Structures are given as structure tokens and as C-alpha cells.
């Protein structure tokens, strides 16, 4: 389905576009959640910690994929708003070519660096070493599928189609649940079984998305005639994607450093942190979905020469996002212990996970404003400032965490550092939005 978002009521269009994305993100989080619930309950809480401590590394891989998808979406959305069909075709071909190149390079790096990074840098407890390495090596073998899916999804979003992702991720979620149950519960493959199930599920969503694109927009499937403009389009895609991916990659590396700090406080912190992160992912679904939606909405309207409409859409989105985030934050605080107990943690692990989760929920609305504002700026093509805001967030959080680690704050340093980091990065991007400098980044 193609949707032109340059006309009509802004709030209604953005909400209608966002809801399928929220559903898709929920499915994606749920199939990741399934891994943790099954591993925590049918293998052990130690195995859950092993999977959890690779979270920053798997996030690093995801950021590369989503960065290319976001860059594809920005370029294609602006060309769609400007009614430039050939430019979209060449952009799609260039994006798929980049995906193949990146997949080969990143997969090779993962296999070369996994052991020194996980065993050497993260320094997991002895009982988690083998499981953490096995899980990451298997997971990283599916990077090609993640790249192909994100490029396809970026092209579809640029055309106002957010519903397809529900179908793709429903297929992925069903596959992951069925295969997790088979590989872990029946075959007793442990964390390796959970990772294999995830890779197969990712392959399913990638294949489904490309079949869907081919049927809905057959002229966007790469052809030899589109390759002539590929080099120029690849340059544009790299200019848009690199700051987005680089910011997320630096954040992932920073959280790897943070994970190492968490590891120094022992198994209760590792297990509590791993479980907390899974619930946190659900709470961030609205802001992440609005980030994607506003980027596509703004891309189309900036491409069509309608910056005032883009501003109105931003204000409506911030209002909706904050209201939903506050409601979710209250709900999670009320249900924190039952939610965390799904992962078979208790005692000190539960206490630390609950404290972290509750503090995060108090300030989640701040992060929602940041996410939506970053999506707006990225949609205009102003991709460097959102990246810089990520560095501000990470720098403040790491500095405060390590400064407080040796004090009476102790293990709480990891989450006490979060509110000031979120507030500063929020102010950074909001000031950029209000300056109006984003107007000069229009591609067409």
C-alpha cells in the first residue's frame, strides 16, 4: 500500500502510520523476549546472563542494519515526496548492493573479533564464557538477513507503507517461538539453539519482506538498468546512513563498556540487568515507533516543499508520544516484579533489576522527546546532530557511572547516571529543532 502523507490531518496520519510500526516492534521485542524467557526457565539464569551480556554486541550489529535502513528511508521518502521515481529505483538498487558488501565485511569481523572482545574485554564470569561466545557467533551469522530486511523496510516506509512489517515480523515471531521450543526445550541445544532459532526467524522476515516488495512495487526490485546511477546513490546513502549508524555503534560500544562495569558487580547485577533490558525494550516501543514514523512523514513533506506541515506533525507526535510513555511508565512500575520474574530471577538479582527499571520508567518521557526529535531531524536529512546527541548521552552516562562506581552508590551507578544523560541529550536536539537549521539539508 502506497500512502502520500503530504496531505490530510497530520495527527491522524502519523498515528495511523505509527500503529502498525508499534505492532511490528512489539512482535520483534517479543521474539527476542521468547529467547530470554525460554533460556532463563529451561536452561538456567546463568545462561540468561550469558545471553544478556552479549546484548551490547548484538545491538552493535543491529545498529549497522538499521542505519542503512534509515538512510534508505530518508532518501527514498524525499524522492517520493518530490515524485522522482527513477531516483527511488536507483536508491533501492544501491541500498541492496551496500547491504551485500556490508554483510560480508561485518560477518568476517565478527568471527575474527568475537573471542577477544567477549572473553578479553567483557570478562564474563567463568560459568558464562562459553555460552556467551557461542550465542554471539551464531547470532552474527544472520547479519545478511537483517540488512536485507532493513533496506526493504526502509523503502516501504518511504512510500507510506508501515503495515507490511506486521506481516514480516509475525512470520518471524511464530518461527522463533516454534524453533526456540524445539531447539531448546526438546533438543536441549541450550543458548546455541536460541541463537539458531533467531537467525532462521530473521531469514524468514527478510524473505517475506522482499516478496512483499516485489508484489507491491515490482519496479523497485533491483535491475541491471538501475546500476548506472548506483555509485552516486551509494554516496548519498552513505552520507545519510553513516552518522546514524556511527552514533548507534558508538552507543553500543559505550554500553559494552557499561556492561563490563555491570559485570564487575557480580552475577546479581548481570542477571538483573539482562532481565531489566528486556522489559525496557517493550517500554521504548512507542518512542521508537514514533521516531520511524516522523522520519518518513517529514521526509515526504520536506521533499514536497512543506516544512510547516512537517513542524505541525512533529508537535502532534511529541504530544502523543509523551502521553503514551507516561502511561506505560506507570504501568511498568506497578507490574515491575511480576514482569521481571518471567526470567526466573529472584533475590538480589530481582532487587537490582527492579530498581534500575523503576528509575528508567520515571524519566522515559524525556527519552521519548529525544527519539521523536531525532526522527524529525533525520527525516530532513540533518543526520549529524542526532548522532552528536547520542555521544552526549553516552559520554555523560559513562563518566558518571565510573565516577560513582567506587562510592557508596556502588552497583547503582549504572542507572543513577541515566537521568542527567537523557536530559542533556534531549535539550541538545530540541535546541537544534527550534533553530530551524535543518531546512538547508533537503535533498531535492
pLDDT tens figures, 204-225: 999 999 999 988 888 877 776 6
User: What whole-number distance in Å separates Cα of residue 134 and Cα of residue 189?
Assistant: 11
d(CA 36, CA 42): 10
3-class DSSP assignment, residue 409: coil
pTM of the full structure: 0.77
* Calpha distance 131→83 (Å, rounded): 51
Neighbours of 269 (CB within 10 A): 23
- Which of the residue ranges 52-56, 155-159, 287-291 would you say has the lowest mean pLDDT? 52-56
The per-residue pLDDT for 225 is 64
Determine the average pLDDT of the residues in 191-199. Answer: 91
Angle, CA 247 vertex, CA 241 and CA 251 arms, to 5°: 140
For residue 119, give the DSSP letter.
I
Whether the per-residue pLDDT at 362 is higher than 90: the answer is yes
- Angle at 178 (CA atoms; ends 134, 173), nearest 5 degrees: 85
Sign, Cα dihedral of 198, 203, 208, 214: positive
Strand, coil or helix: 306 = coil
Residue-wise DSSP of 128-158: GHHHHHHHHHHHHTTHHHHHHHHHHHHHHHH
Give SS3 for 223.
coil
> What is the rounded distance in angstroms from the CA atom of residue 137 to the CA atom of residue 110?
7
Average pLDDT value for the chain: 87
Q: How far apart are CA 138 and CA 48, in angstroms?
A: 16
**pLDDT, tens digit, 9 for 90 and up, residues 321-337:** 999 999 999 999 999 89
Amino acid at each position: 500500500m502506497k500512502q502520500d502523507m503530504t496531505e490530510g490531518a497530520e495527527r491522524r496520519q502519523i498515528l495511523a502510520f505509527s500503529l502498525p510500526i508499534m505492532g511490528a516492534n512489539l512482535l520483534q521485542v517479543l521474539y527476542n523476549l521468547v529467547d530470554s524467557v525460554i533460556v532463563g526457565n529451561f536452561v538456567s539464569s546463568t545462561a540468561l546472563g550469558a545471553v544478556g551480556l552479549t546484548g551490547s554486541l548484538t545491538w552493535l550489529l543491529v545498529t549497522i542494519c538499521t542505519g542503512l535502513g534509515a538512510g534508505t528511508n530518508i532518501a527514498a521518502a524525499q524522492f517520493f515526496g518530490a515524485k522522482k521515481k527513477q531516483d527511488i529505483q536507483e536508491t533501492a538498487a544501491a541500498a541492496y548492493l551496500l547491504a551485500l558488501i556490508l554483510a560480508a565485511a561485518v560477518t568476517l569481523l565478527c568471527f575474527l573479533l568475537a573471542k577477544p572482545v567477549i572473553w578479553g574485554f567483557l570478562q564474563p564470569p567463568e560459568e558464562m564464557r562459553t555460552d556467551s561466545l557461542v550465542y554471539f557467533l551464531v547470532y552474527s551469522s544472520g547479519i545478511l538477513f537483517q540488512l536485507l530486511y532493513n533496506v526493504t523496510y526502509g523503502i516501504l516506509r518511504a512510500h507510506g507503507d508501515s503495515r507490511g512489517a506486521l506481516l514480516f515480523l509475525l512470520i518471524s515471531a511464530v518461527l522463533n517461538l516454534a524453533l526456540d521450543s524445539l531447539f531448546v526445550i526438546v533438543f536441549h541445544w541450550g543458548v546455541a539453539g536460541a541463537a539458531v532459532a533467531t537467525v532462521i526467524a530473521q531469514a524468514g522476515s527478510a524473505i517475506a519482506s522482499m516478496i512483499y516488495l516485489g508484489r507491491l512495487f515490482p519496479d523497485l526490485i533491483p535491475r541491471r538498468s538501475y546500476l548506472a546511477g548506483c555509485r552516486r546513490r551509494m554516496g548519498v546513502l552513505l552520507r545519510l546512513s553513516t552518522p546514524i549508524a556511527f552514533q548507534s555503534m558508538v552507543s553500543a560500544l559505550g554500553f559494552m563498556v557499561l556492561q563490563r562495569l555491570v559485570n564487575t558487580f557480580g552475577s546479581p547485577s548481570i542477571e538483573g540487568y539482562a532481565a531489566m533490558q528486556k522489559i525496557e525494550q517493550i517500554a521504548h516501543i512507542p518512542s521508537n515507533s514514533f521516531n520511524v514514523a516522523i522520519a518518513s512523514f517529514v521526509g515526504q513533506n520536506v521533499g514536497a516543499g512543506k516544512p510547516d506541515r512537517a513542524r505541525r506533525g512533529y508537535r502532534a507526535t511529541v504530544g502523543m508520544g509523551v502521553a503514551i510513555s507516561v502511561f506505560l511508565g506507570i504501568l511498568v512500575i506497578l507490574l515491575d516484579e511480576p514482569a521481571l520474574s518471567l526470567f526466573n530471577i529472584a533475590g538480589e538479582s530481582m532487587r537490582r533489576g527492579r530498581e534500575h527499571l523503576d528509575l528508567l520508567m520515571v524519566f522515559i518521557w524525556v527519552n521519548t522527546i529525544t527519539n521523536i526529535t531525532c526522527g524529525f531531524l533525520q527525516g530532513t536529512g540533518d543526520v549529524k546532530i542526532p548522532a552528536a546527541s547520542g555521544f552526549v548521552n553516552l559520554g555523560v552516562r559513562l563518566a558518571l557511572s565510573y565516577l560513582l562506581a567506587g562510592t557508596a552508590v556502588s552497583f547503582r551507578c549504572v542507572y543513577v547516571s541515566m537521568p542527567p544523560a537523557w536530559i542533556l541529550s534531549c535539550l541538545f536536539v530540541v535546541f537544534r529543532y527550534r533553530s530551524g537549521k535543518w531546512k538547508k539539508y533537503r535533498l531535492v
